[in-house]
Chains A and B, each alone.
Chain A
Amino acid sequence: MTAYLLLDHIDKSFTRGSVVSDVLREITLAVEKGEFVSIIGHSGCGKSTLLNIVAGLIPATNGGAVLEGREIDGPGPDRAVVFQNHSLLPWLTVYDNVRLAVDKVFARTKSRTERHDWTMHNLDLVQMAHAKDKRPAEISGGMKQRVGLARALAMEPKVLLLDEPFGALDALTRAHLQDSVMQIHVRLRNTVLMITHDVDEAVLLSDRILMMTNGPAARIGEELTVPLARPRRRLDLVANATYLKSREAVLKFLYERHRFVEAA
């Protein structure tokens, strides 16, 4: 296989006592370098579990993930995660949260001043340089998520993993952050794997959307390429035929599947 990131027949089941529950079955996915791929599904379908497997935080039961020809067998900064609940360390300032990652990842390759500059560069990228001396408790939820994004970007990951990064934010803040992520993606051409349950978010941001069936034993039910040119602008897409068609396809999948499961 030549794919940049390859998820190869991943199965995941959890065992509690004698009860085995299948969560994921036969998940196979190839992501190209620079591609923005979203995984969408109803809550509880195991999409976060899939992301954690790619991050290396939990092992797959069968199959596995391969990044640039190397099998993933544990977490590492080449697959930086932006967590759903920001996961900033509350006793460190915004700057120190990012600096911790920079110091760890570039301990040997960058000098002290270079690490400082790199930290500030990434805070600038998410427009948070002004709050560098604040602690997480002193900034808003959207700002925390920005810092979490800066921390992940600062690791220069091969794949950026976004675990419903905007799920806990209000709609306006979310839109603002989505625009930031799009700008950064255009600039840096990161490879991104994003988990979401928001249809508009998936269509707006992604090159490709993978729709997961409901659990137990969730699979990738359908795959949709979003053939919209970048850079994309939210307002231009409101009445765009391709955008609306993509949106409709995802909505149909989610709600037809959903109904199907309820009847079964």
Chain B
Amino acid sequence: MNMPILKSDVRPAIPAVPAKAATVLPLNVPRTSFTRNRLVPALAAVAKRTIPPIIMLGLLLTVWQILCAKPGATLPAPSQIWIDARDLIVDPFFVVGPQDIGLGLRVLTSLQRVAVGFGLAAVVGVLLGAIVGQSLWATRGLDPIFQVLRTVPPLAWLPLSLAAFRDSRPSAIFVIFITSIWPIIINTAVGVRNIPQDYRNVAQVLRLNHLEFFWKIMVPSAAPYIFTGLRIGIGLSWLAIVAAEMLTGGVGIGFFIWDAWNSSRLPDIVVALAYIGVVGFLLDRLVAGIATMVTRGTAAN
């Protein structure tokens, strides 16, 4: 139906225009819509987030290289680190001897201690926080004590715990425990105190017992606060493990730094710092990720 009309009405325009449009469009449209329209924006989004940090990192390394490459510089330049500590950077999991192992393995040892210490702190902290938040008397009695104790630096606990446990392993774990427990207690208590009266009324009408109230009302309602405490706690415990291991020894990442300092292996220390930073960041992300998973729906009302 269209062709005769076109032919008869617009004769001079036909030979040039339809021929071009017909050949160009069908070839291009499917390709762009299926591959580029989806893949390219996705890659662009990734690039938008990854390229700026890479550029900044490159700039920082360049400045560092320029500053430390001069003769007489006290700290090693990145190029020097790459040459001296290549085995540490390239393979995190090598095992040569009992004290000569990759940094990944050392980090895992440290993480084990953090897991035990922080795990204990999480359980005890949430329980204590629940009690403190629930009881006005306990709040008045314990809150000032917690506020004072939480300011004590991690390492200040170490001599006491060494005296108490007479062994370095439990001492390090205790230092992590005692460092990370305060924000967990305090945040849980605030969360419990902020449970809306409505939910308490519901619990009362249903006659929930203490255990049911704890699991069905208190934990879900206070979850956002609890996870804030856990996030601060995991950060602090990672700070504490490195410091504690420097003094107690063993195969952890903290002791590695101390050992490297004693044998003047500065490049190794820099690599270890990068490891510690990345692992600390991942730990924080991990707890934050669990928090968003668990507290989905809790905040919205």
Contact = CB atoms under 8 A, between A and B. Distances in A.
Interface of A: 55-57, 74-77, 79-81, 83, 85, 87, 89-91, 100-101, 104-105, 135-137, 155
A91 B298 CA distance: 5
Contact of A79 (B205, B220, B298): B205
A181 to B, nearest CB: 19
A76 B205 contact: yes
Interface of B: 198-199, 201-202, 204-208, 212, 216-217, 220-221, 223, 297-298, 300-301
Contact of B198 (A55, A85, A100, A155): A85
B205 A137 contact: no
A261 to B, nearest CB: 29
A34 B300 CA distance: 38
Given A75-B205, A101-B206, A105-B206, A83 B198 contact: yes
Cβ-closest 8 pairs across A and B:
A137-B300, A87-B198, A75-B204, A91-B220, A104-B206, A91-B298, A75-B205, A90-B301
Nearest to B295: A91
A208 B226 CA distance: 49
A80 B301 CA distance: 22
Chain B interface, >50% SS class: helix
Nearest to B217: A89
B201 A75 contact: yes
Given A91-B220, A100-B216, A136-B301, A57 B208 contact: no
Contact of A104 (B199, B207, B298, B301): B207
Contacts of B204: 56-57, 74-75
A83 B204 CA distance: 13
Contact of A100 (B206, B223, B297): B206
12 contacts: A55-B205, A76-B207, A77-B205, A79-B205, A87-B199, A87-B201, A90-B300, A91-B297, A104-B206, A136-B301, A137-B301, A155-B206
A105 B298 CA distance: 25
Given A76-B207, A104-B208, 9 more contacts: A75-B205, A75-B207, A77-B207, A81-B205, A90-B298, A91-B298, A100-B206, A104-B207, A135-B300
Contacts of B220: 89, 91
Contacts of B205: 55, 57, 75-77, 79-81, 155
Contacts of A76: 205, 207
B10 to A, nearest CB: 56
B202 A87 contact: yes
Given A100-B216, A104-B207, A90 B202 contact: no
Contacts of A85: 198
B252 to A, nearest CB: 39
A105 B221 CA distance: 22
Contacts of A89: 199, 202, 216-217, 220-221
A90 B206 contact: no
B195 to A, nearest CB: 11
A255 to B, nearest CB: 32
Nearest to B196: A87
Contacts of B212: 104
Contacts of A55: 201, 205
Contacts of B300: 90, 135, 137
Contact of B297 (A56, A79, A90): A90
Nearest to B198: A87
Contacts of B208: 104
A73 to B, nearest CB: 12
Nearest to B208: A104
Contacts of A74: 204
A89 B201 CA distance: 11
Contacts of A77: 205-207
Contacts of A57: 201, 204-205
Contacts of A56: 204
Nearest to A135: B297
B199 A81 contact: no
A112 B212 CA distance: 18
Nearest to B200: A57
B220 to A, nearest CB: 4
B227 to A, nearest CB: 13
B191 to A, nearest CB: 13
A100 B203 CA distance: 10
A87 B207 CA distance: 16
Contacts of A83: 198, 201-202
Contacts of B217: 89
B167 to A, nearest CB: 43
A137 B297 contact: yes
Nearest to B212: A104
Nearest to B294: A91
Nearest to B219: A91
